[in-house]
């Protein structure tokens, strides 16, 4: 009777373990990394918000930041709205295209 109960619980336990290692654990690691970043955020870093706004940190407060989003345009945002440090990625297609240009094409591009 006890063995039947354990055998019926076993698949649920396995599903929970899989769910834990695929979803819960990576998410908690990412959240702890984000909180560590917010704790150590410095003036001058470029960050992005959950709304998609990108800006440079102008001042750091206890719960808020002053974010410069354009020249002489600053907004105060909650630290919780910050998703992480912004790193602009260059596309490999445009890099390869620039490498394949002949000297004549480069001369035309610089004249335009």
Q: Which tens digit of pLDDT belongs to each residue from 16-57?
A: 999 999 999 999 999 999 999 999 999 999 999 999 999 999
Q: In what order do the strands lie in the sheet with 54-60?
A: 73-78, 64-70, 54-60, 46-49, 82-85
Question: Quick one: pLDDT band at residue 89, thresholds 50, 70, 90?
Answer: confident
> Does the structure show a pLDDT above 70 at 81?
yes
* 77 burial type by CB count under 10 A (0-12 exposed, 13-18 middle, 19+ buried): buried
pLDDT at 71: 92
Q: What is the pTM of this model?
A: 0.61
pLDDT at 90: 79
| Whole-number CA gyration radius for the chain | 24
């Amino acid at each position: 009777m006890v063995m039947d109960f354990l055998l019926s619980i076993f698949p649920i336990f396995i599903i929970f373990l899989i769910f834990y290692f695929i979803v819960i654990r990576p998410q908690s690691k990412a959240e702890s990394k984000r909180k560590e970043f917010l704790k150590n955020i410095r003036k001058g870093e470029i960050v992005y918000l959950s709304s998609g706004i990108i800006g440079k940190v102008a001042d750091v407060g206890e719960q808020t930041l002053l974010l410069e989003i354009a020249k002489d345009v600053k907004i105060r945002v909650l630290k919780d709205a910050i998703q992480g440090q912004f790193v602009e990625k260059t596309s490999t297609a445009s890099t390869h295209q620039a490498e394949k240009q002949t000297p004549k094409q480069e001369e035309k591009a610089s004249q335009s």
